């Protein structure tokens, strides 16, 4: 079958970039050979999404250790990439339907939760599966969905009603769920919020936060394409991130941005700030734009150390910082599916028309994949889909 992979035999992690299109063996279900296949599902993938994580892998800037160590522990040479996808169930192990969040049949459509949690560790047993100690992540430490077929544990497979969800958007439930999780960490009703980073998840967050009653939403973003999308999605204010002076240390906050947010909030700062970009300066922006006693949600990811500016002021202002990872299981998936199923909130319509530009130049058939074409598409559009 066709698949996009990282292949260790084609050069080291740091010497290569991009994804390789290869013909690889398709997974099969065979309980006699492997009894654990009883709880597994074979899916034919229809659409798979590209996100910030995949861009990080493309540029070899993220998940190096996870990918290399997991390939080695499996005794293999390649990882099939892709963690956001949607497809059709084509085969089920004898116990798979019972193990899934909703009963499954061959012919059902579904999307997976990308964190393959263990269901056995301290957190999993307490209902905090999103912080499972032993998790594997699809497309990183477990083969993923940039492929014609994928074999998955049934407990992560969420049946999706195609009469309510557009197939292209079926593949968007996982990253949309990230935004739902971030937006439900603290109550947003009547709150003034700022979103630092209007990438796809920051844009999804704009929609969810509005739905949850945030009164004023301010976005901060350098990319004009994403700024424009946020305006069309109904954000109240967009602050274009100015270019930084040469002598400004990379972790320093952007004073002008903080001033603008203070002006927009009567000198107070926002009730809740969301760091959705994964840059040190942006993290400090989020801290400094938050009012005394407010909440800051840390969501963006970068490997390495961050410097927290003016620590004294951070403590004295009494902020609460929350790190948000993945999706709560099952609550976030349930809320995501409810939001997608309700046409009155126009969430699917907005994602399709605005974030996916109605599929114009945002969907690439896998058979036509080339590194050059894909890189060109990634440079132009914040969100892309591969059609398989
Ligand atoms: N916590 C989690 O569970 C989780 C899950 C998925 C992704 N992530 C991370 O969340 C972030 C957002 O994901 P995405 O898929 O939307 O990613 P993305 O990388 O496509 O979006 C990031 C956006 O931030 C903008 N940006 C860059 N520098 C900025 C700055 N200094 N200030 C404000 N905006 C800036 C970029 O132009 C881009 O629009 C990434 O860091 C990603 O790695 C976290
Ligand atoms: Zn993702
Ligand atoms: Zn666990």
pLDDT digits (tens, 9 = 90+) for 266-313: 999 999 999 999 999 999 999 999 999 999 999 999 888 999 999 998
Angle at 299 between CA 297 and CA 304, to 5 degrees: 120
Q: What is the CATH number of the domain that holds 264?
A: 3.40.50.720
Name the 3-class secondary structure at 157. Answer: strand
Name the 3-class secondary structure at 377. Answer: helix
Does a structural domain hold residue 211? yes
Please work out whether the CB of residue 57 comes within 6 Å of at least one atom of ligand 1: no
317 and 339 share one domain: no
Last residue of one domain, picked from the residues 275, 295, 323: 323
From 370, 340, 336, 364, select the one nearest 352 (Cα to Cα). Answer: 340
17 and 91 share one domain: yes
The pLDDT averaged over each successive group of 10 residues in the chain (388 residues) is: 98 96 98 97 98 94 94 97 98 98 98 98 98 98 98 98 97 98 98 98 98 97 98 98 91 97 98 97 98 97 92 93 98 98 96 98 97 96 97
Does a structural domain hold residue 181? no
Does a structural domain hold residue 180? no
Please work out whether the CB of residue 322 comes within 6 Å of at least one atom of ligand 1: no
| Ligand 1 mean position, distance from CA 366 (Å) | 25
Ligand 1: residue of 49, 83, 197, 241 to mutate (most ligand atoms within 8 A of CB) is 197
Ligand 1: residue of 132, 227, 278, 327 to mutate (most ligand atoms within 8 A of CB) is 278
Find the ligand nearest to 131 CA. 3
97 and 219 share one domain: no
Q: How many domains does the chain have?
A: 2
157 and 16 share one domain: yes
273 and 214 share one domain: yes
Residue span of the structural domain in which 275 resides = 186-323
Pairwise CA distance, residues 282 & 186, whole Å: 20
125 and 36 share one domain: yes
16 and 160 share one domain: yes
Cα 22 → chain centroid: 25
| Ligand 1 mean position, distance from CA 50 (Å) | 13
Q: Whose CA is nearest to atom 2 of ligand 1?
A: 325
Please work out whether the CB of residue 139 comes within 6 Å of at least one atom of ligand 1: no
208 and 109 share one domain: no
In 161-240, the DSSP E strands lie at: 192-196, 216-221, 237-240
Q: Whose CA is nearest to atom 35 of ligand 1?
A: 197
What DSSP designation does 352 have? I
Given the CA of residue 383, which atom of ligand 1 is nearest to it? 20
45 and 159 share one domain: yes
252 and 171 share one domain: no
Pairwise CA distance, residues 224 & 237, whole Å: 14
Q: What pLDDT digit, counting tens, does each position of 308-332 carry?
A: 999 998 899 999 999 999 999 999 9
Please work out whether the CB of residue 341 comes within 6 Å of at least one atom of ligand 1: no
Find the ligand nearest to 135 CA. 3
Q: pTM to 2 decimals?
A: 0.97
From 342, 341, 362, 338, select the one nearest 352 (Cα to Cα). Answer: 362
Name the 3-class secondary structure at 370. Answer: coil
Count how many Cα atoms sit within 13 Å of the Cα of residue 237 in the half-sphere of its side chain: 19
54 and 34 share one domain: yes
Last residue of one domain, picked from the residues 283, 304, 323: 323
Last residue of one domain, picked from the residues 323, 344, 368: 323
Q: What is the CATH number of the domain that holds 30?
A: 3.90.180.10
168 and 132 share one domain: yes
Pairwise CA distance, residues 228 & 308, whole Å: 30
Pairwise CA distance, residues 12 & 68, whole Å: 10
From 12, 280, 309, 326, select the one nearest 178 (Cα to Cα). Answer: 326
Does a structural domain hold residue 113? yes
Pairwise CA distance, residues 87 & 238, whole Å: 36
Does a structural domain hold residue 240? yes
Does a structural domain hold residue 300? yes
Ligand 1: residue of 82, 201, 336 to mutate (most ligand atoms within 8 A of CB) is 201
Q: What pLDDT digit, counting tens, does each position of 99-141 carry?
A: 999 999 999 999 999 999 999 999 999 999 999 999 999 999 9
Does a structural domain hold residue 307? yes
């Amino acid at each position: 079958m066709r698949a996009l992979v990282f292949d260790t035999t084609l050069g080291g992690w740091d010497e290569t970039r991009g994804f390789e299109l290869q013909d690889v063996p398709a997974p099969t279900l065979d309980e006699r050979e492997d009894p654990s296949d009883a709880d597994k599902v074979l899916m034919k993938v229809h659409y798979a999404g590209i996100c910030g994580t995949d861009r990080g892998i493309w540029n070899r800037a993220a998940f190096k250790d996870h990918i290399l160590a997991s390939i080695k522990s499996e005794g293999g040479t390649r990882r099939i990439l892709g963690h956001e996808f949607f497809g059709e169930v084509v085969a089920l192990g004898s116990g798979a339907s019972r193990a899934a969040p909703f009963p499954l049949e061959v012919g059902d459509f579904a999307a997976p939760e990308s964190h393959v949690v263990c269901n056995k560790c301290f957190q999993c047993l307490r209902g905090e599966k999103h912080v499972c100690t032993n998790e594997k992540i699809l497309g990183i430490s477990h083969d993923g969905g940039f492929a014609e077929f994928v074999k998955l544990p049934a407990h992560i497979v969420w049946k999706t009603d195609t009469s309510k969800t557009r197939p292209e958007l079926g593949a968007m439930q996982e990253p949309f769920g990230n935004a739902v999780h971030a937006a439900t960490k603290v109550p947003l009703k009547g709150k003034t919020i700022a979103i630092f980073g209007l990438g796809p998840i920051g844009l999804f967050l704009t929609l969810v936060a509005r739905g949850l009653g945030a009164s004023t939403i301010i976005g901060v973003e350098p990319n004009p394409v994403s700024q424009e999308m946020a305006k069309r999605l109904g954000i109240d204010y967009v602050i274009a991130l100015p270019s930084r002076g040469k002598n400004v240390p990379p972790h320093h906050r952007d004073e002008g941005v903080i001033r603008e947010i203070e002006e927009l909030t009567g000198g107070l700062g926002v009730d809740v700030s969301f760091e959705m970009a994964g840059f040190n300066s942006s993290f400090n922006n989020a801290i400094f734009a938050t009012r005394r006693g407010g909440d800051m949600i840390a969501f963006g990811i970068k490997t390495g150390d961050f410097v927290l500016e003016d620590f004294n002021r951070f403590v004295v202002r009494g902020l609460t910082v929350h790190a948000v990872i993945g999706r709560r299981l099952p609550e976030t998936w349930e809320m995501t599916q409810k939001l997608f199923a309700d046409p009155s909130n126009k969430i699917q319509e907005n994602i399709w028309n605005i974030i996916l530009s109605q599929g114009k130049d945002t969907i690439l058939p896998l058979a036509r994949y080339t590194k050059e074409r894909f890189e060109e598409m990634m440079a132009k559009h914040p969100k892309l889909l591969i059609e398989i």
